[in-house]
């Protein structure tokens, strides 16, 4: 077996093996059970609550949870705008980077607040150390926001009839302190010991292999990169993200970063099963997600290892695979695997340039974000999948002539309307955004590095990445201008909060309903048959929504290159 393929298989198996007990630990954290880390973090959390004037034991209903989430997110957004626009005169700016324009600061701040981290700037010259530290703070708290929302879903489905669903601030802080922080310390230490900078000094002067004296940006990179992956944020310290040799120095750090971005989303699936004491359902969800992930990953690795026939026709050795836009030190296999992991999980980090992948690989990257249901981001992935569960339950109920039920609660018209709004919002934002960009070539054509089908894919990818809360990009697109900054900014807002509010609203409504004990006629929602039903719903919705757009982009490009 190819050593590169063996490496990613081993890494994936180790990730799942760690995610199972880690999911059990997460379930204990959200259930308020004792853990081995209580003596360390109890005093820290109490200090936070005391400073914030928060009664962490005050129970909230689902509406109060969402109000708290939106309020604190607005505060972070305003602070982000202030720091980014004024970083030129604020402290911790040894390289003298200027403040961002209003439209760029709007896009950057909202992007990091919604956990998308779409970056229309280059980290080396676009932000100061103070800004990087504030963005790193957002890496923690926005990931904690998504995890807290998932915890509300867990609580709502566990209780038979209630409107008391824990405390948002308590769940968010625990997500940051007990889950994200310990792992971040371990991952950051691995990166720092392998050469990733961790300093507050300015640019470093080095002599490169060509003998030129160059200035290289440094900073608190190791800490930033650790939480960017563990929180599935993806925003890179450098413009090249994890393709940069200081952000991702070697094969060990590459595997560590891939493990980091996958472990919590997978663990949250198992946490769902442990928390509800329905482990079989957790395994069913994991099976559906993994099947979708592998269907996208395996062909991508094959296409990228197969090389580019157009380059082969030029007489160039293509045996290492399609290496344009990839790092030789990492190889085509690890790059292809990362490209699907980061788009399926909504991390958005990169270790290669997606714009340089073969056309069909670009299509699978798009599909990872268009489905937006295989693992997903920390917390948000479970919320997205919950919507497809509701749709599958409703369709299954219609097929057998029974009132749809899930976890002992009836699924009625109100829940279905919310589920459909959330399910259709994703393709609506992507397709309308791309259509508007294509309709005004006088504004957008100058920003495209490639004409024709590939240029259309660049636009489609930008709005797909924004709507999927991903943040990666086809970087042939010149996206730092008012059009892209503002249009994607509004997509980011709608695509973050409605897909969180919708599932929590459904969960809250279900929690208030009378519990109906399971009977012989109750639909088994933890069976492999139901898992296949969910997968079919995901595939059908994705195909019907996006196939025409994919035909105009990567599929058309593929046939023109044959």
The full DSSP string for 492-512 is HHHHHHHHHHHHHHHHHHHHT
Name the pLDDT band for 298 (thresholds 50, 70, 90): very high
Number of folded domains that form the chain: 1
- Distance, CA of 126 to chain centre: 23
Identify the pLDDT of residue 195. 93
Identify the pLDDT of residue 451. 81
Arithmetic mean of pLDDT, 73-96: 95
The segment with the largest mean pLDDT, out of 24-33, 371-380, 394-403, 440-449, is 24-33
Q: What is the pLDDT of residues 131-176, one digit of tens each?
A: 999 999 999 999 999 999 999 999 999 888 888 899 999 999 999 9
Q: Are β-strands 409-410 and 405-406 bridged in parallel, bridged antiparallel, or unpaired?
A: antiparallel
Q: Which tokens is 226 given? A: 């650790």
Q: Which structural domain range is residue 17 located in?
A: 3-560
Give 216's DSSP letter: E
Q: What is the mean pLDDT of the chain?
A: 92
Q: Are 321 and 306 in contact, with CB atoms under 8 Å apart?
A: yes
Cα-flanking dihedrals φ and ψ of residue 214, to 5°? Answer: -130, 160
Statement: residue 130 has pLDDT above 60: yes
d(CA 269, CA 276): 11
Name the pLDDT band for 450 (thresholds 50, 70, 90): confident
**In whole angstroms, how far apart are CA 129 and each of 83, 132, 166, 224?**
11, 5, 36, 11
């Amino acid at each position: 077996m190819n050593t590169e393929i063996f490496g990613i298989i081993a890494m994936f198996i180790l990730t799942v093996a760690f995610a199972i007990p880690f999911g059990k630990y997460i379930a204990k954290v959200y259930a308020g059970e004792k853990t081995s880390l209580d003596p360390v973090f109890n005093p820290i959390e109490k200090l936070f609550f005391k400073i914030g004037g928060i009664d962490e034991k005050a129970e909230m209903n689902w509406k109060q949870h969402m109000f708290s989430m939106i309020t604190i997110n607005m505060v972070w957004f305003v602070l982000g705008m202030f720091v980014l626009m004024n970083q030129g005169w604020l402290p911790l700016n040894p390289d003298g980077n200027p403040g961002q324009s209003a439209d760029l600061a709007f896009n950057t701040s909202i992007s990091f607040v919604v956990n998308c981290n779409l970056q229309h700037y280059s980290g080396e010259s676009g932000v100061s150390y103070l800004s990087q530290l504030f963005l790193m703070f957002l890496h923690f708290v926005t990931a904690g926001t998504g995890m807290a929302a998932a915890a509300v879903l867990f609580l709502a489905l566990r209780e038979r009839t209630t409107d008391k669903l824990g405390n948002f601030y308590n769940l968010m802080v625990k997500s940051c302190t007990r889950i994200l922080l310990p792992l971040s310390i371990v991952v950051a230490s691995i990166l720092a010991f392998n050469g990733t900078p961790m300093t507050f000094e300015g640019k470093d002067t080095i002599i490169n292999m060509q003998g030129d004296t160059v200035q290289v940006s440094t900073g608190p990179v190791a800490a930033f990169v650790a939480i960017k992956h563990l929180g599935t944020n993806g925003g890179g310290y450098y413009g090249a993200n994890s393709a940069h040799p200081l952000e991702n120095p070697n094969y060990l750090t590459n595997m560590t970063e891939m493990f980091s971005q996958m472990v919590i989303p997978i663990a949250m699936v198992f946490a769902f099963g442990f928390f509800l004491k329905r482990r079989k359902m957790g395994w069913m969800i994991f099976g559906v997600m993994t099947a979708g992930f592998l269907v996208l990953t395996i062909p991508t690795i094959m296409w990228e290892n197969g090389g580019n026939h157009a380059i082969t026709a030029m007489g160039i050795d293509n045996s290492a695979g399609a290496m344009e836009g990839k790092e030789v030190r990492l190889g085509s296999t690890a790059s292809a695997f990362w490209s699907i992991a980061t788009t399926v999980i909504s991390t958005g980090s990169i270790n290669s340039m997606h714009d340089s992948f073969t056309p069909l690989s670009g299509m699978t990257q798009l599909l990872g974000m268009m489905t937006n249901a295989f693992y997903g981001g920390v917390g948000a992935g479970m919320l997205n999948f919950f919507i497809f569960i509701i749709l599958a339950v409703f369709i299954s109920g219609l097929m057998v002539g029974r009132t749809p039920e899930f976890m002992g609660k009836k699924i009625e018209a109100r829940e279905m309307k919310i589920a459909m709004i959330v399910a259709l919002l994703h393709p609506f934002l992507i397709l309308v955004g791309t259509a508007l960009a294509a309709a005004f070539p006088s504004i957008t054509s100058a920003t495209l590095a490639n004409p024709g089908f590939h240029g259309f894919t660049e636009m489609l990818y930008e709005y797909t990445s924004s709507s999927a809360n991903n943040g990666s990009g086809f970087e042939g697109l010149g996206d730092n201008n008012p059009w892209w900054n503002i249009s994607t900014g509004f997509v980011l807002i709608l695509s973050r909060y409605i897909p969180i509010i919708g599932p929590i609203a459904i969960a809250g409504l279900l929690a208030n309903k009378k519990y109906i004990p399971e009977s012989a006629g109750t639909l088994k929602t933890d069976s492999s048959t139901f898992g296949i039903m969910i997968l079919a719903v995901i595939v059908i919705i994705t195909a019907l929504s996006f196939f025409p757009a994919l035909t105009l982009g990567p599929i058309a490009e593929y046939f023109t290159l044959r």
